[in-house]
Amino acid sequence: MSLLVHLLACAFGTGSWVAINGLWVELPLIVNELPEGWYLPSYLTVIIQLANVGPLLVTLMYKFCPGRLKAVVVIYMILSIGTVSCFLLAFFWKETTVVAGELHSTAFLIITFFLSLLDCTSSVTFLPFMMQLPAQYLTTYFIGEGLSGFIPGLVALGQGVGMIKCVNVTQRWDNMTETNTTSSQTGRYTTESQYQPANFSTEIFFFFLAGMMGLSLVAFVFLTRIPRNFERSCENLVADQVVFTASSGLDNSGKDPAGETESNELTISVNLQKQEASTLPSKAKYSGKQFAFMYFLVAWVNSLTNGVLPSVQTYSCMPYGNTVYHLSAALGSMANPVACIIAMFFPNRSLLLLGGLSLAGTGFGAYNMAMAAMSPCPLLQNSLGGGVLIVLSWIFFVGTLSYVKVMVGLILRDKSHSALVWCGVAVQMGSMVGALAMFPLINVYYLFKSGDSCNTNCSV
């Protein structure tokens, strides 16, 4: 029964951010189809920030109308609407309409807003529900939350990305129609890019996201039906004992006891509180300047990872080819949960180290931004080394700053509940400022230039 609940908690956690993470890793295929083109990521960053109105409303309801809002009902709505939205996305993501004289993918953007609204709201509803279960299942839930980014990235790697084929096109002067021919008819010759299909279509990928949301919904249904006597028995068990792995040859001093899998027969009883006290470092005392520095780190790191750099990822990667952009998006998405796992087993609360990692991550981000600014002709564009460098830069950018976010969050959590609340405020403020600052630079002032691998000449 305990193993089953762990599996249900993990499946439930995957439904938290799987839809939005899935959209990000699918962008390398979508940007070639929708009219926004390379501008699309900047639209998504703003849409996601606007969707934070969802958790704001839920938080206000908790504050001013305690007991009126039922978390279980809200979660049912989130998972049900999310499943239906992903399903509809598979059918309507290509639909476009004319808005303000320009063609826009309105269906895709509207559905994306609802998915963002649901995923953002999950942050303030899923966790309170999990707090009702024994503490050992909370870590399993966080593992599932990490898989919400890892699994779509893994599937996207299997999906691959279509290769670009340059085709000669004759544009006739009489009716200006284009035909794929190289005959000597009167007209002028141009070259256009044609994208070959991936291993499976974008529609199938969206159906996969709908399936993951549906699986999370089913897991939640079973979690709400766990017998109360089982919860109480687990609470008593956790209060008295924790699994201790003997003769493993491994140093487990960095592990969280709540994350260990229960054994039905072979366990050695130890006191949980003593175990936690021995594994966790003693709480350090921080000055006001140090707390100000941590809040600055939170705001700065989130502005880069949630607003500034995602808006220009197409410009930094697409000049190197679709495959490079695809690998950057997929592996970058997977770097986030990997960094969280590293933080779980190798925590380090040194502000000097966290500041150094923030500086390193900012350096990787600066390289990504520089390549975006040089688009469509970045450094080493036509070499294998240039593509490898930009992929690695995106992976290390996401990984290092994700580690910083996790560790600063743990420090502030240990301080007090109010410190964690202000951490959340810094996260949202940094993300919003980053997204809103980049949108006019990209979509109004056009500081970043898109290109076409078949027609862009970077040799001069």
The whole-number pLDDT of residue 433 equals 93
The whole-number pLDDT of residue 26 equals 94
Residue 150 dihedral angles phi and psi, to the nearest 5°: -75, -45
Distance CA 300, CA 401 (A): 10
Q: Which residue pairs, CB below 8 angstroms and at least 24 apart, start in 416-425?
A: 419/291, 422/295, 423/295, 423/298
Report which of 360, 398, 371 is spatially closest to residue 314, judged by C-alpha positions: 371
Which runs of E-coded beta strand occur in 55-203? 97-99, 102-104, 164-172, 178-179, 187-195
Q: Which residues of the chain have pLDDT under 70?
A: 1, 162-164, 168-195, 228-284, 453, 459-460
3-state helix, strand, coil in the chain (%, to 5): 65, 5, 30
The whole-number pLDDT of residue 250 equals 32
Distance CA 312, CA 108 (A): 19
Please report, for the chain, how many H helices and E strands are present, in that order: 18, 5
Max intra-chain CA distance, the chain: 87
Q: Is the peptide bond before 376 cis (omega within 30 degrees of 0)?
A: yes
Report which of 79, 69, 47 is spatially closest to residue 148, judged by C-alpha positions: 79
The whole-number pLDDT of residue 456 equals 72
The whole-number pLDDT of residue 248 equals 33
The whole-number pLDDT of residue 418 equals 78
Distance CA 53, CA 369 (A): 29
Report which of 456, 375, 458, 450 is spatially closest to residue 192, judged by C-alpha positions: 456
Angle at 352 between CA 351 and CA 355, to 5 degrees: 80
Would you say how long the chain is, in residues? 460
Q: How many Å is the Cα radius of gyration of the chain?
A: 24
CB 329 within 8 A of CB 154: no
Residue 159 CB partners (closer than 8 Å, separation 6+): 29, 198, 199, 200, 205
The whole-number pLDDT of residue 151 equals 94
CB 352 within 8 A of CB 291: no
The whole-number pLDDT of residue 319 equals 92
State pLDDT tens for residues 382-397.
Answer: 889 999 999 999 999 9
The whole-number pLDDT of residue 344 equals 81
- The DSSP secondary structure of 270-282, one letter per residue, reads --HHHHHHHHSPP
The residue assigned the tokens 């939640």 is: 220
Distances (CA, A) of 240 to 67, 138, 270, 275, 413: 32, 18, 7, 11, 25
Residue type, 332: G
The whole-number pLDDT of residue 452 equals 76
The residue assigned the tokens 């762990």 is: 6
